[in-house]
Amino acid sequence: MSRLFVQLGAEGFLLGVLETLYMTVISTAVAYLIGLPVGVLLCITDKDGLRPMPWLNRVVGFFVNILRSIPFIILIVALIPVARAVVGTSIGNGAMIFMLTVAAAPYVARMVESSLKEVDRGVVEAARSMGAGTFAIIRKVYLPEAKPSLIVGAVISTVTVLGYSAMAGTIAGGGLGAIAVTQARPSGAEDVIWLCVVLIVIIVQVIQELGTLLARKTDRRLRSGPKRASGSKKIQNKI
């Protein structure tokens, strides 16, 4: 057992886990606050969407793509001055959450967009034929009908953010990533690195299982009949 391992103890690792969870959950939540409306916007302003606005769709899509195409590790470095201006500091969990959110929001937007586009166009058309306006269709058709898929998307996004948060440990913030990269690696404490890996794997598995369970529980298409098999398979494949 390395000296660092002893030094950290159960308490140290627990703190790491909690910090990781804290950063992941807060960042994902804030990313959804931004990404969900943007995803809805991307879906309905599409040329085949509810309210086609090609230029707006292209402009928003362009910015989303730019943010999505910057590797996260580079984005962190680039965002250091921005974080200092917005959060007041470029280190620590606050700055990290800001950076994670910037990286995750466009990812979430695309995730939401793709979930909403899975909603049967016929159902949307039926709602239009009843005199439903755009807002009512988003609230009462798109979001509820896409709910299982949105939950699956949220699980994927959360796991991605979790991975980012470990990466972020190299520059700023805490959590398991920081322990493994900034503390354990220089001192060669391999046992610490491996425990961090195991803990992250466990966290991912728990999020994944809970998410899948929730998605399946909310999906009314899986209740009975021949659709059950194909429906649940579809979701499993996506995960």
Q: Angle formed by the axes of helices 190-218 and 227-238, to 10°?
A: 150
| Nearer Cβ to other proteins (123/197) | 123
Question: Whole-number minimum distance, CB 53 to other proteins, in Å?
Answer: 15
43 in Cβ contact with 49 (< 8 Å): yes
| Nearer Cβ to other proteins (137/193) | 137
Interacting residues with other proteins between 3 and 62 (CB under 8 A): none
| Nearer Cβ to other proteins (169/231) | 231
Question: Whole-number minimum distance, CB 222 to other proteins, in Å?
Answer: 8
| Nearer Cβ to other proteins (220/233) | 220
Size of the residue set binding other proteins (CB under 8 A): 28
Question: Whole-number minimum distance, CB 183 to other proteins, in Å?
Answer: 47
| Nearer Cβ to other proteins (31/222) | 222
Tokens representing 179?
Answer: 């322990």
Question: Whole-number minimum distance, CB 64 to other proteins, in Å?
Answer: 25
DSSP 158: H
Torsional class of 21: left (φ above 0), alpha (ψ -120 to 50), beta (otherwise)? alpha
- What values do phi and psi take at 223, rounded to 5? -60, -45
137 in Cβ contact with 130 (< 8 Å): no
Q: What ranges make up the beta strands (E) of the chain?
A: none
d(CA 42, CA 49): 9
179 in Cβ contact with 206 (< 8 Å): no
Interacting residues with other proteins between 67 and 126 (CB under 8 A): 120, 122-123, 125-126
| Nearer Cβ to other proteins (142/164) | 142
Task: With contacts defined by CB under 8 A, name the span among 56-64, 106-114, 142-150, 205-213 that binds other proteins.
Answer: 142-150
Binding of residue 141 to other proteins (CB under 8 A) = yes
Question: Whole-number minimum distance, CB 233 to other proteins, in Å?
Answer: 15
The correct pick among 3, 58, 68, 140 for binding other proteins (CB under 8 A) is 140
d(CA 79, CA 58): 25
| Site of tokens 């021949």 | 226
Tokens representing 123?
Answer: 């159902």
Interface residues with other proteins (CB under 8 A)? Answer: 120, 122-123, 125-133, 136, 140-141, 144-145, 147, 218-225, 227, 231
